[in-house]
A and B are shown apart, each in its own frame.
Chain A
Amino acid sequence: MVGGNASHSGTTEGPAPPYREAWSISDVKPVAGPIVGAHVLIVVDADRVVTVERATGRLVWEADREAGPAGPGALAGNLVIFSEGKGRDAAISAIRLEDGEPAWSVPTGARSLGGPAVEGGRVFVGTSDGRVLAFTANEGSRLWEYRATGRVDTSPAVADGLVYVVGEDLSSGAATMYALDADTGRERWRFSPSGPGVRVSSISVAEGTAFVGLGDFMVHAFDAAAGAERWQTPVRVPFSSRLVPAVGDRVVLGDLAGNLYGLEAGSGELAWMFRVPGDLVLASPILAGDWAVVGDGGGQASAIDLSSGLLVWKRDVGVGPVGPIASDGERLYLAVLGPRGRLVALEHDPQGSLLAEPSPTTLFVGRALLNFAIAASALGAALIFLIRWLGSGRTERESSTPLDEEPKGGEA
């Protein structure tokens, strides 16, 4: 499930960078990040659900899936829950983890981009027509339905008996964050920023605080139970609903342009910002020990030191955007999305060395001025020399032309 658990904390013990490739397979074309099961990885493919062995990458079984957009699947006991189909034919389905045999499928009537969340034997999904649905995990029976304003493309986060989603009303530009009772679907509190708020992130909940990025260019932290705002911190660019904040001592969240922010979880103070080369539309960071690891839209995976904000490791893992990363503590599992997609497992490389690169957004004034001086003096001298040389040739031609053209014999 997104962020590794129902509350989307996105944290794991390890492994530590640097990394090396343990294995990779190219015969899956993931549309969402993998999820970790006992001994296997479960991947939602374009038209399949695939399980592969975590240790070797060997395919275990595959099950058919109606093609359509999807978020990562979720595990509910021995069932794999995932979304499938498009438009009105969209549905939430469950298959058995052992063999991929279908268990149940219920139509949702609209696509579910964020993917399901499972908590306490219940499955929660948000739909693009603005509904939040709850089912029983073992049978798929509907428990309740809540209608939000606008579409709900975020993956529901579930913690302490509450379900958190964000509705985005594209016609008005307003976004609303909802906290719903997980048992009844009744609204407990809501928050809407003043002014436009669409282009939001998904929500993460940790230690009684809910974290979310909204389209008002702010990351907000709320008291998860009561909805009182604890802090807000400005960012440069808004978010994608596929982006899920990872929460440890620091909250790590990316924006659409590829800026990764490290914020103090208690105060919201910006500790560092690092810009990765690609965008962060489909990716989400994961906290592996003292490092944040993220794949970007350009196919690069990067590891950032959580305390300093320096890049310590990077590697191109494929051609295409990298989805949310999953981890079992020993390896990191990355899905390169799209038609040229692949599944990659990374493990700690004891022989590798760490980098210490600052963010490209860090300005070194002295170096910038020196580079300017070099470029300006070289280019200026070259241009002046070239133009004066051209100008002198032109002047000579102009001064010689009238004499050549002087008509003879009084034609003037």
Chain B
Amino acid sequence: MTDRRRGRRKASRGEPRGGRGTAPRGQPPPATSDASSPEAGSRTGDRGGWLRRALGPRQTVVSPFPPLAASLSRGALGPGGSPVVLAAAFLGLLALWAGFTLLDAALSAQGMVYVLGVPPVHVPLDIGVVQSLLRTSSTLALTSVLALGAGRGLILGTLAILVHDAVRGGSNPRAALRRLPRVAVAMFGIYGVEVGLFLFLLLFAQSILGPAAVLLILVLGLHFLGFAPVVAAAEGVPAGAAVRIGFRASRLPGARHVTLVLLYIATVLYVGVGATAAAGETAPATPSVLTWAVALLATFGHVVMLGALAYRWDAVRDQVLAEDSRRQEERRAARGRGRGRGTRPASSRKTSSRKSPPRPAEGKASSRTSGTTARKGAATRTDTGKPKDRRSKRGKRR
């Protein structure tokens, strides 16, 4: 009797209608019943219009993402317990500190807290450095921004791959890192998108909101683009596809994603302000042990956030990729219809009809139900959820 009561209580505390929402280490999290059902995550199921939705009875929207505590604990337990991930993160912080110092922009204690944040948390810092360099030489500023982007791509790419691998219980980081060149290029692209969007939005928002604009843009940027680095690392897709798919993932219903984003931003800002209070506005160019410790602890926090995003991405991956594939197909079909109605010269039509547009990688991935990859040669997930390298499998067959 006691056991049964306890069992019921535990079940109710976990994921509603979908079990606990977490998975044993090394396995992808189970999709919740809401996520796997056809209606789940759909905002278009109710066609009554916004007025009817607003006035009508409230519907409980269940997020397909795992709960906050489960995501954070998995984000902490997987990558946090891995010496390789921690070493990569800590060395990444050291590398960025060295880079900023070389650019004659020694980081303050607050800057060291933000410098390895999940994008776009570090974007204002980078823009500040480039602005100061622009005063000296535009060539130097351009070179520096490219170098900074490349360095960030490499560091974030390494971290995202290792964190995602650790969240999935992978035990061979060296094999996972074979994807680094491709992922680093994607990260560079994502970085460019984030910097561009940040500057563009700041231009408009700052005149209306003043300093609060930066905060708003950070929250929006992390909300809509936070998944992009994880998607690039997990699926090996290029920057554009990673941003698009990450954006789709961020738009899944429920408040769990925005809660995670707000919690992360609030924590990072709080730690940053605390670091400033402890070390002063003008922190010395030679960081003390305490300054390093605070910065490293903040870096661990960034790794946990990345891990939480990776865990959540695994939970919604199939649903998002399927949705993305469907949208892409629709778009292609619409484009095809538009082309059919068009009045292009026959010669050009002939040329274009000869070449069928290349099918995007993620489209291939989503055409399968589960345990598939987004690209050729990528680590694939088997039915047991363990990653497997398709190329090595092929080699064995031969």
Contact = CB atoms under 8 A, between A and B. Distances in A.
Interface of A: 216-217, 234, 236, 257-258, 275, 277, 360-364, 367-368, 371-372, 374-376, 378-380, 383-384, 387-388, 390-391, 394-395, 398, 401, 404-405, 407-408
A203 to B, nearest CB: 22
Contacts of A371: 286-289, 291-292
Interface in B276-322: 280, 282-293, 296-297, 300
A401 B10 contact: yes
Given A361-B285, A363-B285, A404 B7 contact: yes
B6 interface: yes
B90 interface: yes
B6 A404 contact: yes
11 contacts: A361-B106, A363-B285, A371-B289, A375-B289, A376-B94, A379-B297, A379-B300, A380-B86, A380-B87, A401-B10, A405-B3
A380 B90 contact: yes
Nearest to A360: B284
B332 to A, nearest CB: 44
A363 B90 contact: no
Considering residues B76, B77, B282, which has the most beta carbons from chain A within 10 angstroms of its beta carbon? B282
B359 interface: no
Given A375-B296, A380-B87, A384-B83, 4 more contacts: A363-B286, A371-B292, A387-B76, A401-B10
B3 A404 contact: yes
A372 B292 contact: yes
Nearest to B292: A375
B4 interface: yes
B80 A277 contact: no
Q: Give the secondary structure class of A's interface.
A: helix
Contacts of A404: 3, 6-7
A372 B92 CA distance: 12
Contact of A388 (B81, B132, B287): B81
Nearest to B90: A376
Nearest to A379: B296
A362 B286 contact: yes
Nearest to A377: B90
Nearest to A235: B135
A371 B284 CA distance: 13
Interface string B199-211: 0000000000000
B86 A384 contact: yes
Nearest to B25: A395
Given A360-B282, A364-B286, A398-B24, A405 B6 contact: yes
Nearest to B105: A236
A387 B81 contact: yes
Nearest to B8: A405
B42 to A, nearest CB: 32
Interface residues of B, number: 39
A273 B300 CA distance: 35
A277 B280 contact: yes
Contacts of B292: 371-372, 374-376
A383 B86 CA distance: 9
A9 to B, nearest CB: 28
Contacts of A217: 135
B123 to A, nearest CB: 21
Ranked nearest first, the 10 interchain pairs of A and B with the lowest CB-CB distance are: A375-B292, A405-B7, A360-B284, A387-B81, A363-B285, A387-B80, A375-B293, A364-B286, A371-B289, A376-B90
Given A361-B106, A401-B10, A404-B7, A277 B282 contact: yes
Contact of A391 (B81, B283, B288): B81
Nearest to A237: B132
Interface string B382-397: 0000000000000000
Nearest to B132: A236
A107 B41 CA distance: 71
Nearest to B101: A363
A390 B293 contact: no
Contacts of A375: 289-290, 292-293, 296
B347 interface: no
A360 B94 CA distance: 19
B136 interface: yes
Contact of A394 (B77, B282, B287): B77
Q: Which residue, of A258, A376, A408, has the highest number of chain B Cβ atoms within 10 A? A: A376
Interface in B73-92: 73, 76-77, 80-83, 86-87, 90
Contacts of A398: 24
Interface string B1-41: 00110110010000000000000110000000000000000
A257 B132 CA distance: 14
Interface string B100-116: 01000010000000000
A387 B106 CA distance: 32
Contact of B10 (A234, A364, A372, A405): A405
A383 B300 contact: yes
A258 B80 contact: no
Contact of B282 (A275, A372, A405): A275
Contacts of A360: 282-285
Contacts of B290: 375
A390 B77 contact: yes
Contacts of B300: 379, 383
Contact of A257 (B7, B280, B282, B287): B282
Contacts of B132: 236
Contacts of A391: 25, 77, 81
Contacts of B106: 361, 363
A387 B77 contact: yes
Given A217-B135, A360-B282, A404-B3, A376 B77 contact: no
A317 B280 CA distance: 19
B93 to A, nearest CB: 8
A371 B132 CA distance: 28
Contacts of A388: 81
B359 to A, nearest CB: 41
Nearest to B290: A375
A362 B77 contact: no
A391 to B, nearest CB: 5
A372 B6 CA distance: 48
Contacts of B77: 387, 390-391, 394
Contact of A362 (B94, B283, B285): B285
Contacts of B83: 380, 384
A379 B136 contact: no
B8 to A, nearest CB: 9
